[in-house]
Amino acid sequence: MISDELHREVLAWIADDPDERDRAELSALLRSAGGADSDETGRAAAELDDRFSGRLEFGTAGLRGAVAAGPNRMNRAVVRGTTAALAGWLLYIDPAAADSGVVIGCDARHRSDEFAQEAAQVLAGAGITVHLLPPRQPTPLLAFAVRHLAAAAGIMITASHNPPADNGYKLYLGDGAQIVPPADLEIEAATRSLGPLSQVTVAPPGDPLIVRHGDEVAAAYLDAICATSRAPKGAAWLRFTYTPLHGVAGDLALRAFEQAGFPEPDVVEAQFQPDPDFRTVAFPNPEEPGALDLALAQARRSGAELVIANDPDGDRLAVAVSDDQAASGWRTLTGDQVGALLGAYLLGKDAAAAAADPSVAGHPLVATTIVSATTLASIAAAAGAKYAETLTGFKWIARAGDLRPEVRFIYGYEEALGYTVGSTVRDKDGIGAALAVLSLAARARSGGDSLLEAYDALEIAHGVHLTEQITVPTTEPVQVMSRLRIAAPDELAGQPLTAHSDLTGGTDELTSADVLRYWLRGARVVIRPSGTEPKIKAYLEVVEPVIAGRLTEARRAARARMNPLREAVRELLDG
């Protein structure tokens, strides 16, 4: 049974919900929860309690949750309320936003096109122009389109690499980057103070304020990213396998490969067409074990030397390289390894371009986050480039050079397989990054090297930077972080801390964040709660110099230090 208060709350939501299916779903749960005591009654009551435990709140750049009825789920009612609040906020801070408009895109997840259409009609109802992209497009295209169309904001309906049951609502500001405080807090507050949804003006689907774009935005995006990463000489001999993991990047990626001059890839056909159920993978995240199994098996059969994969909304990139020394014959590179490889490659390209064109102004800038490896800092220093370290998330990486007029932003990455090349897309761009990886691989190949050998050279020059991540599920991340703040450790794995910091309140370089950092001799630990899931994450790095080129010994020493550090941090998080 449920309380009378919850019963009234559910009935009020049903009366205000614009979607007939969602109203029926809640009505059925309400009937089940009010029946005779049984397991079904208990399950229905618990489900209603969870769905009405609060409103779906902004996490990393927007909303994300399971598709279902109720305020704590992703549905048309939540999209309508959030979009009405966004419309009011936009018109308040900049009345000209009505004309510059909002770009809306969506992926192929369950009800994505429906949610995009709902958002479009709410914005048009508020008198705001809408630029509606074709359905089933990747997130980088939306991020690009915001600036390309000089829009005031962007909405991307996607849950990125979340489980199939989820969907989301990702917000971008007019600079083409993900939303940041205080804008997200202000929009969330406006959502909470919104009146009944029945009072929100919703335009008809054919309203003239809704501009439906064709392929012209995608064509402009391809022109921009292909100009940055054209295939070098010898690229025709590069053999690679590609999979979009049932997501929406496939068509645009194949067009990009061809336009940039790369050979046609060996495509994993079973994963090429968008599928919101992601039937061939247990979890549609290329970081997860097993996600690349089909692609690796196909690459073995076809004799490919490289595997590249995008995540479902196309903003992330995974890379695997043929390796005779690995048990499977393949090695999947970490985000930090790809991040370092691309950083060194793009800095080298930039230096050559600047030398050929004296008019190029400003110092090159590369950026990564406080949880990524520090290899990029060493690479940048050796290249005479500027380096920035930001909070986690591309909303910070993309803006790393905004207040520094003396720099040129040329590259940014985060360890979670996110990369952006130049400022064409001010967000993760798995397609643009794929072109850069292919260009790097083709150049290395023409010199008789592989990506693995290129990475070996980086470690010999800059030291071994071994990184690992620990994830601990918890329903009480705030309590875990509070416990660690009250009693900071004096040592980890027998090694004394040399320094520690709490980013609550921020620093001169970083805004306030729920992050703790510990330093040991030649090692670092960063701890933070997840922005989208009930988890605590710890990011570990051990740095070991390479003496006299003895890379194997340095890697062995780094591993010997990492193992006890990992166990010590896990014990710390478990309490």
Mean pLDDT for the stretch of residues 193-207: 96
> Is residue 372 pLDDT above 80, yes or no?
yes
SS3 track for 30-60? HHHHCCCCCHHHHHHHHHHHHHCCCCCCCCC
Q: What is the pLDDT of residue 249?
A: 98
Maximum Cα interatomic distance, the chain, rounded to a whole number of Å: 81
Q: Which residue has the tokens 């090692």?
A: 523
Q: What is the pLDDT of residue 73?
A: 98
Q: Where are the alpha helices (DSSP H) in 392-476?
A: 394-397, 430-446, 451-462
CA 388 to mean position of chain CA atoms: 19
Mean pLDDT for the stretch of residues 555-562: 97
Per the prediction, the chain carries an average pLDDT of 95
Question: Which of 156-165, 218-227, 493-502, 529-538 is the least confident region?
Answer: 529-538
Mean pLDDT for the stretch of residues 302-322: 97
> Is residue 536 pLDDT above 80, yes or no?
yes
**14: three-class secondary structure by DSSP:** helix
Q: Please state at what angle helix 216-228 crosses helix 430-446, rounded to 10 degrees.
A: 30
Show the tokens assigned to 214. Answer: 């064709």
DSSP single-letter state for residue 74: B
Q: Tell me, yes or no, if the two domains 55-213 and 463-574 fold the same way.
A: no
- Rounded distance, CA 173 to CA 62, Å? 12
| pLDDT tens-digit readout, 13-63 | 999 999 999 999 999 999 998 877 788 899 999 999 999 999 998 877 799
Q: What is the pLDDT of residue 361?
A: 86
Name the residues annotated as catalytic.
Answer: 160
Contact at 8 Å (CB) between 101 and 184? no
Question: Which of 37-41, 200-204, 220-224 is the least confident region?
Answer: 37-41
Residue 488 contacts by C-beta under 8 Å, 6 or more apart in sequence? 497, 500, 516, 518
> Is residue 417 pLDDT above 90, yes or no?
yes
Contact at 8 Å (CB) between 361 and 369? no
On the CB side of 292, CA atoms within 13 Å amount to: 25
Residue 267 identity = V
The domain segmentation of the chain, as residue ranges, is 1-53, 55-213, 215-461, 463-574
**380: three-class secondary structure by DSSP:** helix
Mean pLDDT for the stretch of residues 473-486: 90
Q: Which residue has the tokens 């159920």?
A: 277
CATH code assigned to 215-461: 3.40.120.10
Asked if residue 182 has a cis previous peptide bond (ω within 30° of 0), the answer is yes
> Is residue 162 pLDDT above 70, yes or no?
yes
Contact at 8 Å (CB) between 479 and 534? no
> Is residue 532 pLDDT above 70, yes or no?
no
Mean pLDDT for the stretch of residues 445-474: 94
Show the tokens assigned to 59. Answer: 């996490």
- Rounded distance, CA 295 to CA 430, Å? 17
| pLDDT tens-digit readout, 382-415 | 999 999 999 999 999 999 999 899 999 999 999 9
| pLDDT tens-digit readout, 50-102 | 999 999 988 777 999 999 999 999 999 999 999 999 999 999 999 999 999 99
Give the CATH number of domain 55-213; options: 3.40.50.1820, 3.40.1260.10, 3.30.1490.20, 3.40.120.10: 3.40.120.10
Helix (H) or strand (E) holding 25: helix 20-33
Q: Which is nearest to 419 in space by CA: 429, 431, 407, 406?
A: 429
Helix (H) or strand (E) holding 84: helix 76-93
The string of DSSP codes covering 164-230 is: TTEEEEEEEETTSSB--TTHHHHHHHHHHT---GGGS----TT-TTEEE--SHHHHHHHHHHHHHSP
Show the tokens assigned to 456. Answer: 């070996």
> Is residue 530 pLDDT above 90, yes or no?
no
**255: three-class secondary structure by DSSP:** helix
Q: What is the pLDDT of residue 57?
A: 87
Mean pLDDT for the stretch of residues 359-365: 91
Residue 388 identity = A
Q: What is the pLDDT of residue 245?
A: 98
Residue 340 contacts by C-beta under 8 Å, 6 or more apart in sequence? 373, 375, 376, 379, 455, 458, 462, 465
Q: Buried b vs exposed e over 128-155: b needs ≥16 C-beta within 10 Å?
A: bbbbbbebbbbbbbbbbbbbbbebbbbb
- Rounded distance, CA 213 to CA 130, Å? 10
| pLDDT tens-digit readout, 484-527 | 999 889 999 999 999 999 999 899 889 999 999 999 999 999 99
Q: What is the pLDDT of residue 477?
A: 87
**CATH class name, domain 463-574:** alpha beta
Contact at 8 Å (CB) between 388 and 401? yes
Q: Residue 8: count other Cβ atoms within 10 Å of its Cβ.
A: 10
| pLDDT tens-digit readout, 225-277 | 999 999 999 899 999 999 999 999 999 999 999 999 999 999 999 999 999 99
> Is residue 480 pLDDT above 80, yes or no?
yes
- Rounded distance, CA 172 to CA 458, Å? 35
